Every structure is written in C-alpha cells, then in structure tokens.
Amino acid sequence: MKKYLLPSIKLTALMILLCAVLYPLLIAGIAKLAPGQGKGETISLNGKVVGYENIGQKFTADKYFWGRPSAVDYNAAGSAGSNKGPSNPDYLKTVQARIDSFLVHNPGVRKEDIPAEMVTASGSGLDPDISPASAIIQVKRVAAIRNLNENAVMDLVAKHTEAPLLGILGPKKVNVLKLNIDLDKLP
C-alpha cells in the first residue's frame, strides 16, 4: 500500500498545481491581453459606464431603438431562454402580446413585416444586437418621435451596421446600445 500512496499524493499535488493554480493564471493572463482586459468591453458616455458591448440593454421608450426581447429581463446573472416551444400556449400568448405591442408603437407596420427576432427572446436573453431589418423597421417611429429626418436616422443605422466576421461568418448586425447612444447625439 505504501508503494501506491506516495505516488498518488504526488500526482494529486501536481494536478492541483496544474489545474487549480497554473491553468487559471494562464487564462487570466491571456484575458488581460483581450479588449477590456478580461473585465468585458464597456461602453462609456461622458466618462460614465452605460453598458457592456456584449450584453443587451432594455429600451422601451419610443424615442429609442428596441433590442430583442429578453426572457430574463436583461439580467446577466440569470442568463437563459424561456425554454418554451412554439406549441406552448403561454409562449404563444407572450409572442402575441409582443406583436401587439410592437404594432401599437410602430403604426403602419404590418404584422407579417415584423422580424421574428423582435418578438422572440434569444437563448441567452441578452442579445446586444439586432439585424439591420429590425433596426430599419423602427426608423419611422424613432424619427417621428425625435422630429428627425428619416434619412438621417437611416444613415445612422447604416453607420452602425457591422459586417459579418471576416466577411462570411455570421449575419450583419446592429448593436442597439451603440446606436441609441449615437442617436442621442444627433441635433
């Protein structure tokens, strides 16, 4: 038994050193080289942090572009989807309520023209981005509330439309928080 006990203790100590000390230090060191130095990429306005680039924010006022609905009310500590399928009656009521609300706040938009992402929550519930189509469908409302020219608001959406990674990976997207910050800067 003594023959196996000492090597087992040595191996355990080695694995603790590797897995619980060296590996976390290595990952923390790599994170320090990333944007945000491992603390996330913050978005600041006038020297004050107003949000994170990769976490969705709740916008419900008509003067702002709305992001994708969240099943967790944008609580990053409780990231999750609703886990309800398209045949669940409660889920269907929730989606219908979102459609009705969207139509009330965006007069002139037809139900069939609403992008699905504007009435369904994502798997994480924290999407910071919407598709360009989801931004464009809101331009008329935002421009009217702010007394802005629709073309100026469209130009702002175009400015904030990000191309897919390397031109091929993923869809085009618009970061809602960045768009709304720049929207507030318009005269």
Judge if 167 and 129 occupy the same domain.
yes
Rounded mean pLDDT of the chain?
89
Question: Which element (helix H / strand E) includes 43?
Answer: strand 42-45
Determine the average pLDDT of the residues in 33-62: 80
Characterize 63-74 residue by residue with b for buried, 16 or more Cβ atoms within 10 angstroms of its Cβ, and e for exposed. Answer: ebbbbbbbbbeb
Judge if 23 and 98 occupy the same domain.
no
Please report, rounded to a whole number, the percentage of residues in the chain having pLDDT higher than 70: 100
Characterize 134-173 residue by residue with b for buried, 16 or more Cβ atoms within 10 angstroms of its Cβ, and e for exposed. Answer: bbbbbbbbbbeebebeeeebeebbeebbeeeeeeeeeeeb
Confidence of residue 124 (pLDDT cuts 50, 70, 90): confident
Overall domain count for the chain: 2
Between residues 31 and 49, the one the model is more confident about = 31
Q: What is the pLDDT of residue 13?
A: 94
Q: Using CA atoms of 173, 174, 178, 183 in order, give the dihedral in degrees to the nearest 10.
A: 170
Lowest mean pLDDT among 58-62, 64-68, 72-76, 115-119: 72-76
Between residues 36 and 20, the one the model is more confident about = 20
How many Å apart are CA 63 and CA 156, to the nearest integer?
Answer: 14
Judge if 8 and 46 occupy the same domain.
no
φ and ψ at 23, to 5 degrees? -60, -50
Judge if 57 and 35 occupy the same domain.
no
* DSSP SS3 for 164: coil
Judge if 34 and 48 occupy the same domain.
no
Judge if 50 and 30 occupy the same domain.
no
Judge if 72 and 152 occupy the same domain.
yes
Q: What is the pLDDT of residue 41?
A: 78
Host domain of residue 18 = 1-39
Determine the average pLDDT of the residues in 115-142: 92
Q: What is the pLDDT of residue 147?
A: 94
Judge if 51 and 14 occupy the same domain.
no
Determine the average pLDDT of the residues in 101-106: 94
DSSP string, 59-112: --STTS------TTTT-GGG-------TT-HHHHHHHHHHHHHHHHHSTT--GG
